[in-house]
Structures are given as structure tokens and as C-alpha cells.
Chains A and B, each alone.
Chain A
């Protein structure tokens, strides 16, 4: 029997009448290679504002992936075309088993923005991102002069992100001893082999990536941004965590119209880590961010509808 290409091609997408959306797998070249992206759209006419979602770094990409999916589908249900994609070195991208470069995140996002701009009916593009993805979304918004920017649990600097990232990695491998012996700044992440990368719990982490992340500082890197922004922070108390509040303050200081949203969730400190917890003696597993992801999606859609300018007015006219 031969390959049934028609069968495969006919299953690239689906329509879901319950939510009123359709989704389609794309295989565009974004950054230095071909990758897999998913375009979520409403079944009816789309609003003229389209969204690109930027994922986080390392294993966080897969830990936070469902948040991107939940938000993308909520935005599509509200009328917005939304694109999520794998940066090279992640998921189904063609670059596999290599140390990820920060430039792949940025170049991939810039190409994804261009792809979204080229889509029929899209006149305004906004960027969204979580944790490290929020840093990427902000840098891309600055470069591409985007008028809309949504940041979930963002950091102000790459160093802040790396410290948090390193804490999780070190906790996981019980490398406190290495931490005590030196390299206090980033908890041992700076120690590299001669090949220029280290094996961090199975992740190839390169010196260059570490340096490039460290070099990110939104206080210096965001200057020209003229946008409406949403900053969502998730915490046990429901108030914005300090790093998140600093990002919001900086955006306001440079003249960005910024909305702050706090999401209260007991599991907040675990954001970016394994999201399933055993119940009882392990007879079931519970998604600890099930409610929080929906709360973030709701806040994002509500802000997007309000701030997408022409998009919002079109929506109002259609009611």
C-alpha cells in the first residue's frame, strides 16, 4: 500500500462547532528553519487584529504549552486569528537535538509576525508571551512596532528569568552543593564544558544562550514601543508579583497604555513546572493550572476585545 497523502492533507485542520473555531496546522519557515505552527481562527469572519504567541525557554516551553493553546482557542472563539508555533529546537521544528539560540526565538517570532500580517483580513498584529516568552514578545513588539502586547508573568530582565529558571533546575537535580561552592549569581548555570554547552537535566544549554538571555533588559531594550499592553501576574494572593509589577511600571513610564491583571492561584509558584499532581494514592492526576489558564485567557480576551482598536469597533458594529 502506498502513502495516502490526500488523507493526511485532509486532516491538517478541524472545525469545532461547540466553540465556533477552526484550527489548522501550518509548516512555515520561521527563523532559520521549517517548523510546525497552529493557526486558530473563528468559523465566521475574523476580526482584523491577529495574535502571535511566543513560548518560553527550555522545558518551560512544554510545561506552559497548554496555556498558549487555551488562550489561542479563547481568542479565536472571540473572533481573533491566533498563531502559535515552535521556535527552532523545540517540538516538531526541523532543528532537533541542538542547543537553542536566543536569536531563533526572536527571528522566529519576527517571521511569525510577518506571516500573520500577510494573512488576508489581518491589519493589526499583537504579540503575547509567558515568562521568557513575554520577554521575546516585548522585544519583538519593539522591533516590529506592534500596537498590542500581552505579557503573562513577565520578567523585566533576562537575569531575573535565569535566576528563577536556575532555581527550578537546581531544585530538580538537588545541585544545592554546586550552588554553595560558587557561581552564586545564576546558581551554577555558568559552568560549561569545552563544547560550549552543558547538559542541564537533559537540556543542551549553551553559553551563548545564557549570555544572550542575560543581556536582555527591558528597561534599556523597550524605548520606542507605542502600544496598548496587558500585564498579567499570577500569585497566591492575587496581587502582581514584584517582577511583574516592575514590568508594568516600566511600560507606564515609557508611555504605554498598560492594564494590570492579577490572577489568584494556590499553585502560582509552580507556573512553568510540571502541572499535574497526584490525587490521593495516585489513582488520578489533577491539572493544577486548569482554572488559572482559563482566568488568564479570559483576562486576555477581554483586554484584546477592548484594545484592538479597529478590531473592537468592527466587533461592536457586527453586534
Chain B
């Protein structure tokens, strides 16, 4: 394995990134994105470890810092939207440099949005792993309460405890799939497989959110819909990679899933094994 730290030009700025290449020709490229605040190697070096393990499976990867954060250039006091532009620039650069034909986007939180963007926009992308993706946003009512005059009304309503409780329920009911999910997920699923990953801590939120996503998916043709997969990791702490156990579970899941995408024969074997074990037992797969 070899690693190349680089500054990828993006407009007037430079995105700090590390390209990891395996010995020999790579079977594919994984774009590793983080949530807001984490560096390219991620908390506790989890993406650096992922890069090493991917390289051992003959898969190249690139990890990067968002603009104005860590080693990237740029000055921003406020960040408003997941920075997808620089992620696309990094993905294109790394694909060109490594010679990889196929790409998979991987990320948590904001990085999940980035992974979905790569899957939706990049012709060569065959998959996206979205870890705790933000899949919902306020609907019309919530949006109105976020506008400058709406904020004043919201503050007034929040001052009453009973109204606050009702408001909370209404807000929940008002949630709709986020624009990113509405726009990007169907496009991504046209050619890529998409995996959403949650843990037990986020099960409740995840179920509610996933319900909205499922409803959206129901409108898609079956073959497209079937490219979507959801897995639940046992345990807690996925949001901040807050335990070594959850870090290892995530890395194992990620590596398995990516290998199956880049080595289709492995997926065929898994499907066959799954079919055999399904005959032997009726218990569902724990992590799905």
C-alpha cells in the first residue's frame, strides 16, 4: 500500500486529501467523507484504518478535508450546506490518479450527503454507503417557522409549555424527506446500490426517517427500489464513533459491502449462502 497526500485544486482553494493505493491495479476507488468537524482520517483514525484495510483488498481510496477545515484552504465562519462540490473534485482527481474504473461513496452525516451526491452525479459510481444520513427536513410549516418573521412566531409559541409540546408533535408530523434524498436518492439508485447504516441509539429516529424514505422509494420501479438496503448495527455510539466496538462493526460492514460491489462474485456467494441459511433457519439477518 502507498499513500499520497495531495492538495486538490478547487476554484481558488485547495482541498487537502490523501490517496491510498494498493499494490497492483485497484479493483475500485472508495471516496471517504466525514461529518462536519472531523478531519480526513476521521475520529480515532477510522478512515485511515479503513483505507489500509481497503488497500489490503486491492481497493484504492481517497479521504479529504472540507474547505476551510483542517488542512484545506479557505476561510468560512459559517457552514450552511454539505460541501459536495469539492468532494466531486476530489473524487474525479483520485479516479484519474488511481486509474480506478468504478467508485463508491462512503460518509457519515454530511459525508452521507456527499456519498449520495457522488452516487447520483458520477457516471462511474456503483454504490453509496450513507452512515446516519440526515434524511428528513421540515416541511412547509417548519420551513415557514424558520423564516425571519416565522422565527419570532416560533419563539412566542415556544414560550408556552403546552403549545411547545404540541408544536413538537406537529414538527415531527411535518417532516418530509430532505431535498437531498428527494433529488439524489432516486438518481443514485438508477445505477448504484445505496446502503443506509444506523445503530440502536438512532433506531427510533432512523425508523421514523426511514419510513419517509420508504414512502419515497415506493414510487420508484421495483428494480430501482431493490438497490436500496438498510442495515442496523448492534450497539450504540455510531454518531461519534464513540466506542472501539462500534468502530470495528462499521469497518467490517463497510469492507464487506464495498468488496461485494467491486467483486460481484463475492456478492453472488453471499446471496447463495444466505439462501442456504434461510432454508435452515427462519431467523432474519440481524444487521439488516
Write the chain A residue with the least CB distance to B44: A202
Q: In the complex, how many residue pairs between chain A and chain B have their CB atoms under 8 Å apart?
A: 130
CB distance from A29 to the nearest CB of B (A): 14
B6 touches A25 (CB 8 A): yes
Interface size of A as a range: 35 or more
User: Which residues of chain B are near A36, meaning CB under 8 Å?
Assistant: 3, 5, 18
Interface residue tally on B, bucketed by range: 35 or more
Query: B242 contacts A92, CB within 8 Å?
Result: no
Please, which residue of chain A has its CB at the minimum distance from the CB of B26? A3
Which residue of B18, B40, B73, B240 contacts A16 across the interface (Cβ within 8 Å)?
Answer: B73
B48/A92 in contact, CB under 8 A: yes
Task: Verify if A185 is at the interface (C-beta below 8 Å from B).
Answer: no
Residue of B12, B45, B77 ringed by the most chain A CB atoms within 10 A: B45
CA distance A237 to B72 in the complex (A): 32
State which of B93-101, B189-197, B262-270, B278-286 sits at the interface with chain A: B93-101
Choose one: A8, A14, A59, A285; the contact of B78 (CB below 8 Å): A285
Chain B's interface: helix, strand, loop or mixed, by majority?
mixed
User: Does B119 sit at the interface, judged by CB under 8 A?
Assistant: no
Segment among A136-144, A211-219, A272-280, A304-312 that sits at the interface with chain B: A272-280
Whether a CB of chain A sits under 8 angstroms from the CB of B213 is: no
Smallest CB gap from A279: residue in B: B78
Q: Are A92 and B3 within 8 A (Cβ)?
A: yes
Contacts of B257 in A (CB 8 A): none
- Complex CA distance for A92 and B41, rounded to whole angstroms: 6
Residues in A whose Cβ lies below 8 Å from that of B76: 287
B164 within 8 A of A: no
Knowing A69-B71, A92-B41, A96-B52, the reply to whether A202 touches B97 (Cβ < 8 A) is no
Q: Per-residue 0/1 for A277-319: is the Cβ within 8 Å of any B Cβ (1 yes, 0 no)?
A: 0011101111100100000000000000000000000000000
A199 at the interface (CB under 8 A from B): yes
> Quick one: closest A residue to B101, CB to CB?
A1
Contact B244 A276 (CB under 8 A): no
Q: Which residues of B contact A194 (CB under 8 A)?
A: none
Q: Quick check: B6 and A12 within 8 Å, CB to CB?
A: yes
Bound form: Cα–Cα A5–B21 in Å? 10
Which 9 A-B pairs have CB atoms at the shortest separation, nearest pair first? A1-B99, A25-B5, A11-B6, A8-B4, A290-B77, A14-B7, A14-B14, A284-B80, A199-B244
- 14 A-B contacts, Cβ less than 8 Å apart? A1-B101, A2-B99, A4-B96, A11-B8, A14-B7, A16-B14, A25-B7, A38-B71, A62-B38, A92-B41, A96-B45, A202-B237, A202-B240, A202-B242
